[in-house]
Amino acid sequence: MKRYASLLALVLVFSMVVLAGCGTTPPAAEKPAEPEVKLPAQVQAIKDAGTLRVGVKADVPNFGLMDAATGEFKGMEIDLAKAIAKRIGLAEDKVKFEAVTAKTRGPLLDNGQIDLVIATFTIKPERKEQWNFSEPYYQDEVGLLVKKSSGITALAGLNGKTIGVAQGATSRDAVQVEADKAGIKVKFLEFATYPEINAALESGRVDAFSVDKSILSGYVTEGSVILPDGFSPQDYGIASKKGTDELTKYINDMLTEMDSNGEKATLLKKWGLN
């Protein structure tokens, strides 16, 4: 009987131990670490550098315009650059904007001074051989700005006249194709910058100023007008150094997302571009 009692006690003690064990909360399971989004190496390199260096226009209203007083850049292309920085995990103020022209943007990419060009840069097959381009984010067409006093109302009125275009821009070829179609003869004068072409228009050195309409819109004055003709549609893309395919894909993914979630439409609306 005594043996039986001690056996019972043993069983009781054992069950208590087991029950007590069940009662204690198991050690908190290690929370699985949030899977860190691994950036492609070319994008990570920009993040590690701490700044995203972007070539933008300083004189194209609604795309890339620099406030001369504050040095601040504004426009749709500026917002695109900020969106890329945000996606990478860089703060807005870590985007370093560099004013570029049609002539300087390619060389600045080539010599590594900037990571991206978001500057009304038209995607063209021959340019794609030199630089990487994203999918298009905007389409514009080439136009002509003339003085109202010239009485010119259409491209046909430019027969025998001189047209000012920018070096390194697509405008000259585009106008030549249209002039050939219209059966007119035109001459060209090339300039390094748009303000120089505009000054030449003002002074009468050229009879028309030709470039994408978005760019022309920044130069319209009381005395000048953009002709209704528009030709040679231009797709704008975000350019980076040749071979930066991971970076281009990363940007393309962002553009696709911005298209489908409505962010792109909001951005265009914000800058009056839709």
Footprint of ligand GLU on this chain (CB under 6 A)? Answer: 102, 120-122, 166, 169-171, 211-212, 215, 234
Nearer to ligand GLU, 139 or 256 (CB): 139
For the chain, the 3-state helix, strand and coil shares in percent, each to the nearest 5, are 40, 20, 35
Nearer to ligand GLU, 46 or 209 (CB): 209
Nearer to ligand GLU, 155 or 215 (CB): 215
Closest CA to 82 of 72, 69, 96: 96
CB of 38 to ligand GLU, least distance (A): 34
CB of 233 to ligand GLU, least distance (A): 11
Q: How would you classify the pairing of strands 59-60 and 64-66?
A: antiparallel
Two structure tokens written together for 122: 């038209």
H/E run at residue 191: strand 187-191
CB of 140 to ligand GLU, least distance (A): 7
Sign for the CA dihedral angle at 56, 58, 60, 65 comes to positive
Nearer to ligand GLU, 43 or 163 (CB): 163
Query: In 10 A of CB 231, how many CB atoms?
Result: 16
For the chain, how many residues are written?
274
Nearer to ligand GLU, 121 or 250 (CB): 121
CB of 83 to ligand GLU, least distance (A): 20
CB of 120 to ligand GLU, least distance (A): 4
